Structure 1
């Protein structure tokens, strides 16, 4: 149940400090080379530092010298509990990104006091978890907060660590070479590829499976009480359960479709020793990722396509890639195993008057620029795709059709200056408390068009978006003036625009130029029936298996798990090829369902 919080007693403060020191001593005894004291991100130590949360009137509150006593005493006692050569890293919140956070003079004073107390290294903490500013999502520029670390360097002599959105060796090396920091820290990139450092050291960075900062299988999982894993590396967290052992009975495998599911299945099967032919009617691999990479805030999805391309090139003895070929059932009769990873087709508004009006187009038409988009747009469907399309149209002034982009052309990545301006971060580094500009000075990019985002369901739009990124998408659209309307009934489309009924029963006409349908998808399984007629039972994976919201995490996981056991797997049980939920995840799911049904 709930409880009323109370201030930690002076004895409790002392006990907490001793707990840190005891933990450091135990870590040394266990054979560790060092510990990191978590003094940032709005946790307990950070809460003592700032007046927004520290309301104490004793020796642990009031003046800044009192407020910083806790972290300083923790480092002192940790140092006293361990050898002189034992590493003590202190993660210091250099940019709180909340109102009434630390100012820069306090950051410097704390860093100097931490150095005097016996720390070995200072790591950079960026933002409280309560901050309404992205700090680790894809929309954050690569190395976008290294400038904060650089600003502290003249004030201390300890090595400083830069952090947040450092996901390639090139980004890391640029930070170090420029002198912005002495070290860099990474976490999620090592989930994406545990061989990151080895590949960089070997001079093969192109083989790194790059973290795309999506948070879908790592951080989002922790909020759902699931095991932390990785969208681009489903073995993360399952290393002893999901094994790609060399096969003892090689098969010939046809995989149709080179989207996320097909790429994962084909490469894992080939890696295990099967002879794989990967077909796609497109001239490029990547499937829906080629559209995703165009969405502002999802540019990193390009890296997954790039990784798979290099992976395929290295598997050329076992993997034959055939692009620009639309296969028939007859083309697949000679294979031992056939996998359909043929994805989805957009659902239409068929049945609604005016569903075929020229104003009505699909999200595929928009993201491939096959059709023109006007200056006023209604988007039907506010799931992940609807939000993506709104984001794309909000930042894409060019409404003219264009040829499909080359899958291997990298999109333009977010730039630090524009990011800081968009989110109201003070580029003078904490001339204001918490590093935030007054809300009326935060920059807002001019919207390129008027956008309505609509859904049939009542309640908050985008409720199914990830916990760690959904709020960012909503905030970005609000910054751009996107009007979000839930609980609507779509009546018809005509030359005037979209006719609908609001949740209050009031008729309304949105006089828009374009209506973009993002109302779900249908599995593309047209090859299944002719294959079965020839006595071939194919495996259906990814969108071809389940066409609910496009789910790259499930697609890559399912494709990988099928390939790991394709010799014995049953096409009828492909739905069971998912990461186990676990007891904690199951309980959380049941609790959430029960809460929703109340």
Structure 2
């Protein structure tokens, strides 16, 4: 039972139906020239899915404070109609929405905004970028007014609350930290003066919106930066905010430039709730009842329930889980009927894209952010007659393709050659920290059952099945990939295996393992084997180890490999595989033997697409997705998204073909007459 999750809550004067907040996420859709339609549809679906309160992605209060060119701006009147559309869409679904007021400080992208970044001190971040300008007294007062004006405007546009961003290393957090605030004036020099700016913002925002309008503050529970704000100052600041009238404290962790992983799959779910608990204790010890919101790496409703039941927090903020499943809250009210799609913390389609300009979505739910492009089946409209469609392959592309086709109302059969669904997700779930990939497989398997998809396991299809395939109106080909040989002398030796066998049978490998290949598959395999006490060395001809992995994840995984003693060599030229190991020429041109008991080939993949010409010859409408379409540069994000896109395209093609067949079956005398075209008024006809 989720008694604590579904207990109504209060944030100032705002009542919420439950204790789950959808945390702020920047989607790179906020500034789209569509009148706010895409973001409105995104937020509306999450409100309909049961979020107690939705917090928007950061909305900049001034031009120089924007995180990039695609951020929303509350100071720009041209954006106000779009922002109002977000609030209106959420309210139509019975939800509540808060606008996050945001200033990036030295994290702002000057090349994108056209303005020099500003900060408490002229110190650039460790990740590089343009050195910021130190704010002077007049500029500080201007920024404070901008926050106040933004809050006032948010209320006027129909938002139910505002959240002030003072965490994750942005401007207000920069004023609090001795790392970024080295000034010695009224705004810095000791803890009290470093707090002055964010407290002045709190006072100005409160004055701008009045006593009854909820003001939330997103504060840093731990910066995770050596020499930054100590815990005692963090707690003092939280208490000061509560005394100043903040209606809730939302506790974040970590700066973007911190080298401590916070949101990657390596991080244990719920790892950061202790910081919220400490701040809550400090606030209660001061005699204040201000609600505290725990956040970061909480991906299940059951975990949220434990956090609330243990008294660590009063609310729980879940951000990426609402990308993975907009109905995660509503589904929890009806256990057993439909499982939630769990966020697996891969970061590839969400955080990594948010750091650039690509639209944010979700690996396990590629509809996220594309709700208008791929609308759900509407029961209020005439539905097309169901087509009979086949999906060949039960890996990531096939799972999403089958789910999407069935959700569109079609009769679907899925054929999988293995004895279990999942494809390469079955390998990924074996890697430490990636166990939730198995939850994704279970979710899709349950969805296929719920939607009535007939699943045939241990059923490979080949050219002999052409007659079977002719019986379908269309086929989605998602047959995946197979490991590609490296083409080296000695690759036939018994100690040489491909990566799929190595993942499935790691106990059969020798103690010393050399992996030919340094991409994401090789890195995952190295992580798995190192955790089983193998000595692992990764080899790569060109490029970096982990090339192609997500920007927010690669560094953390490589640090974990180093911790486990995994070695790697790049810039090598292979000579041969020998019984003693791999003979190569290293980056310095020296010939050397890398000893190995087992050599694993993880040097690429080839598509399994032999059915494509069979389908073409049989005249069966078909689409390919994932590795079956193109194995080059393949990753799970692309495979799942292509499964969705191929399903919608195939469904449309099958529906059109069905309409034509039905029209052809009706004798011309029984068809309704076409309406006659008539000329309009004379003035129109002459024009």
Larger RCO, structures 1/2 (Cα 8 Å, 6+ apart): 1
In the alignment, structure 1 residue 323 sits paired with structure 2 residue 461: no
In the alignment, structure 1 residue 510 sits paired with structure 2 residue 594: yes
TM-score by length of 1: 0.83
Aligned to 1:179: 311
| Residue 498 (structure 1) shift | 0.5
CA contact 1:144–1:165 (8 Å) conserved in 2: yes
Aligned to 1:379: 515
CA contact 2:483–2:498 (8 Å) conserved in 1: yes
> 1:538–1:6: structure 2 CA closer, same or farther, 3 Å change rule?
closer
Aligned to 2:405: 269
Aligned to 2:63: none
**Which runs of no fewer than 5 residues in structure 1 stay unpaired?**
398-447, 571-598
Aligned to 1:164: 296
In the alignment, structure 1 residue 145 sits paired with structure 2 residue 272: yes
Q: Deviations over 1:226-252 (max 9, x none)?
A: 111111111111111123446514221
In the alignment, structure 1 residue 112 sits paired with structure 2 residue 239: yes
Query: Which residue of the other structure, out of 258, 268, 283, is the alignment partner of 2:394?
Result: 258
CA contact 1:35–1:87 (8 Å) conserved in 2: yes
2 CA distance for matches of 1:205 and 1:486?
A: 50
For residues 289-304 of structure 1, what are the structure 2 equivalents within 5 Å?
289-304=425-440
> 1:82–1:531: structure 2 CA closer, same or farther, 3 Å change rule?
closer
Q: Deviations over 1:298-335 (max 9, x none)?
A: 1111121121122112112xx21111222332332311
> 1:371–1:114: structure 2 CA closer, same or farther, 3 Å change rule?
closer
Q: Deviations over 1:557-576 (max 9, x none)?
A: 11111222314449xxxxxx
Query: Which residue of the other structure, out of 185, 188, 202, is the alignment partner of 1:58?
Result: 185
- RMSD, aligned CA: 1.8
Structure 1 residue matching 2:650: 3-state secondary structure: coil
- Please identify runs of 4+ aligned residues in structure 1 that moved more than 6 A: none
| Residue 347 (structure 1) shift | 0.5
| Residue 140 (structure 1) shift | 1.1
Structure 2 residue matching 1:498: 3-state secondary structure: strand
In the alignment, structure 1 residue 542 sits paired with structure 2 residue 623: no
1 CA distance for matches of 2:403 and 2:329?
A: 22
2 CA distance for matches of 1:255 and 1:465?
A: 29
TM-score by length of 2: 0.73
CA contact 1:278–1:320 (8 Å) conserved in 2: yes
Q: Deviations over 1:127-164 (max 9, x none)?
A: 11111011111111111111111122221131111001
| Residue 223 (structure 1) shift | 2.5
2 CA distance for matches of 1:568 and 1:313?
A: 23
Query: Which residue of the other structure, out of 92, 104, 108, is the alignment partner of 2:219?
Result: 92
CA contact 1:244–1:268 (8 Å) conserved in 2: no
Structure 2 residue matching 1:565: 3-state secondary structure: helix
Structure 1 residue matching 2:422: 3-state secondary structure: coil
2 CA distance for matches of 1:139 and 1:305?
A: 19
In the alignment, structure 1 residue 128 sits paired with structure 2 residue 265: no
In the alignment, structure 1 residue 230 sits paired with structure 2 residue 366: no
Structure 1 residue matching 2:269: 3-state secondary structure: coil
| Residue 178 (structure 1) shift | 0.9
Aligned to 2:92: none
CA contact 2:520–2:547 (8 Å) conserved in 1: no
| Residue 119 (structure 1) shift | 0.4
1 CA distance for matches of 2:610 and 2:651?
A: 25
Structure 1 residue matching 2:133: 3-state secondary structure: coil
| Residue 349 (structure 1) shift | 2.2
Q: Deviations over 1:531-567 (max 9, x none)?
A: 4444446422111111124411111111111222314
**Which runs of no fewer than 5 residues in structure 2 stay unpaired?**
1-110, 112-128, 655-687
| Residue 3 (structure 1) shift | 5.5
1 CA distance for matches of 2:415 and 2:232?
A: 60
1 CA distance for matches of 2:217 and 2:376?
A: 39
| Residue 172 (structure 1) shift | 0.6
Aligned to 1:209: 341
For residues 270-289 of structure 1, what are the structure 2 equivalents within 5 Å?
270-289=406-425
| Residue 463 (structure 1) shift | 3.0
> 1:3–1:392: structure 2 CA closer, same or farther, 3 Å change rule?
closer
| Residue 6 (structure 1) shift | 2.6
Larger radius of gyration: 2
Aligned to 2:163: 36
CA contact 2:481–2:608 (8 Å) conserved in 1: yes
> 1:313–1:298: structure 2 CA closer, same or farther, 3 Å change rule?
same
Aligned to 1:348: 485
Query: Which residue of the other structure, out of 441, 449, 452, is the alignment partner of 1:305?
Result: 441
Structure 2 residue matching 1:26: 3-state secondary structure: helix
Structure 2 residue matching 1:207: 3-state secondary structure: coil
Structure 2 residue matching 1:134: 3-state secondary structure: coil
